[in-house]
Amino acid sequence: MDMGLINKTALVTGSTKGIGKAIAIELAREGVNVLINGRSADEVERVVNEIKAEFPATTPRNAAADIVDSQQREALFNKFPDIDILVNNMGIYEIMQYEDVTDEVWETYFRTNVLAANGLCKLYLPEMLKREFGRIIFIASEEAVMPSGLMPQYGVTKSMLLSLAKSLSKLTTGTEVTVNTLLPGPTLSENVQHIIDGIYANEEMTWAEKERSFMKTNLPQSEIQRFIRPSEIGRLAAFVCSPFASAFKGSPIRMDGGMVPTIF
Ligand SMILES: NC(=O)c1ccc[n+]([C@@H]2O[C@H](COP(=O)([O-])OP(=O)(O)OC[C@H]3O[C@@H](n4cnc5c(N)ncnc54)[C@H](OP(=O)(O)O)[C@@H]3O)[C@@H](O)[C@H]2O)c1
């Protein structure tokens, strides 16, 4: 299916690895010129070159910046003011006991997982509204609607994104600008693979055996009993960015492998 995205420009935050990189790749596959972001300019350049080699008809560019820093966000906007698509993917997560979540940790999570994305929306949404076309996607998590209790500082920030998306969506009435949230379930980013490999470091097991064992023991509620592949989230994001998805307005869109047990 041609998603009608050729020659659009997309900024994908945190796109040097994991879900962000997969979203950038799937957008580039659709002919989108992607702005790759991460804090290391060298790492960003490596991914830019990788995408350029795979999709030579597109023009990926280096958008390295620490987007938690408001000055760097503004500099990024001044360098790339014209984008059609903003994917707020960058986010941090870690299992923590509630009693260890200090005020400083709460602030770090709020700044990183909410304020960085909100700051970029403040800069880019007015431009999209002027042009009456644009796509903003927030990457939340199933933790946004089904907190496991294992990472309270994370779940709260992901719930906030759902509310923020709907508030911003209200500003887009009558335009082809959409603001939506994707809720991935457990997804096999390099980070997650590293954690699983660490858990089974002393076992003689293939990756498939480790994955099966981990899912059975730790995530029995997953109906797919495997990690979602980042490319699956990437394809969904590309669709939500497409002109065919204009009727998604402020929607939380779940691709959670069946983790959330409710219908809605
Ligand atoms: N993996 C999962 O199972 C899962 C499930 C549900 C939702 N999610 C959500 O999906 C998103 C991506 O997760 P992931 O597992 O793919 O992440 P990841 O592998 O940890 O990748 C994070 C990316 O963000 C970049 N980054 C980190 N801090 C940054 C900053 N301050 N400014 C700019 N870039 C920054 C990293 O590059 P540098 O470190 O080089 O800056 C990297 O490119 C997150 O919002 C996460 O909460 C993940």
Give the binding-site residues of ligand 1, using a 6 Å CB cut-off. Answer: 13-20, 37-40, 43, 66-68, 89-91, 93, 139, 141, 184, 186-187, 189-192
Q: Are residues 32 and 156 in the same domain?
A: yes
Residue 85: closest CA among 163, 31, 38, 150? 31
At residue 181, what is the residue type? T
| Active-site residue set | 154
Assigned domain for 261 exists:
no
Q: pTM of the prediction?
A: 0.98
The answer to whether 89 and 12 have CB atoms below 8 angstroms apart is yes
pLDDT in tens, 58-91: 999 999 999 999 999 999 999 999 999 999 999 9
Write out the two tokens for 130. 């002027």
Sheet holding 33-36, edge to edge: 61-62, 33-36, 9-12, 85-88, 133-139, 176-184, 252-255
Same domain? For 197 and 178 the reply is no
Whether residues 209 and 243 share a domain: the answer is: no
Same domain, 131 and 158: yes
Mean pLDDT of all residues in 217-246? 98
Vertex 17, ends 11 and 23: CA angle to 5°? 45
- Tens of pLDDT, residue by residue over 20-31, are 999 999 999 999
pLDDT reported for residue 221 = 96
Q: Which residues pair with 9 in a beta bridge?
A: 33
Whether residue 141 lies inside any domain: the answer is yes
For residue 198, is it within any domain? yes
Q: What share of the chain in percent tops pLDDT 90?
A: 99
Domain co-membership, 72 together with 16: yes
Q: How far is the CA of 193 from the centre of ligand 1 (A)?
A: 13
Give the residue ranges of DSSP H helices in 93-229. Answer: 103-110, 116-131, 152-170, 190-199, 207-218
Q: What's the pLDDT band for 93 if we cut at 50, 70, 90? A: very high
Note whether residue 74 is domain-resident: yes
- Both tokens of 67, joined, read 């987007």
Q: Say if residue 28 is in the same domain as residue 118.
A: yes
Q: Contact 153/106 with Cβ under 8 angstroms?
A: yes
Residues 202, 93 share a domain: no
- Enclosing domain of residue 48: 9-187+229-254
3 found inside a domain: no
Kindly state whether residues 133 and 204 are assigned to the same domain: no
For the CA of 16, the nearest atom of ligand 1:
43
The rounded percent of the chain whose pLDDT value lies above 70 is: 100
Say how many domains are in the chain.
2
Candidate from 40-44, 105-109, 117-121, 192-196 with smallest mean pLDDT: 192-196
- 243 within domain boundaries: yes
User: Would you say residue 22 lies in a domain?
Assistant: yes
Whether residues 89 and 197 share a domain: the answer is: no
Q: Is the Cβ–Cβ distance between 32 and 55 less than 8 Å?
A: no
Q: Are residues 98 and 145 in the same domain?
A: yes
pLDDT for 182: 99
Tens digits of residue pLDDT in 157-198: 999 999 999 999 999 999 999 999 999 999 999 999 999 999
For residue 151, report the distance from its CA to the centre of ligand 1, in Å: 16
Question: Could you tell me the CATH number of the domain that includes residue 161?
Answer: 3.40.50.720
To test the pocket of ligand 1, the residue of 72, 189, 233, 255 to mutate (highest count of ligand atoms within 8 Å of its CB) is 189
242 C-alpha to ligand 1 centroid (Å): 23
Q: Whose CA is nearest to atom 30 of ligand 1?
A: 66
- Residues 53 and 156 occupy one common structural domain: yes
Q: Give yes or no: residues 216 and 239 share one domain.
A: no
Indicate which atom in ligand 1 lies nearest the CA of residue 142: 6
- Distance (angstroms) between ligand 1 centre and the Cα of 175 equals 30
Measure 88 CA to ligand 1 centroid, in angstroms.
Answer: 10
- What local confidence, expressed as pLDDT, does residue 106 receive? 98
State the CB neighbour count (10 A cutoff) for residue 107: 12
Pocket perturbation via mutation, ligand 1, pick of 11, 13, 19, 187 by most ligand atoms within 8 A of CB: 19
The residue written with tokens 């300019």 in the block is 41
Residue 1 has pLDDT above 90, yes or no: no
Residue 96 lies in a domain: yes
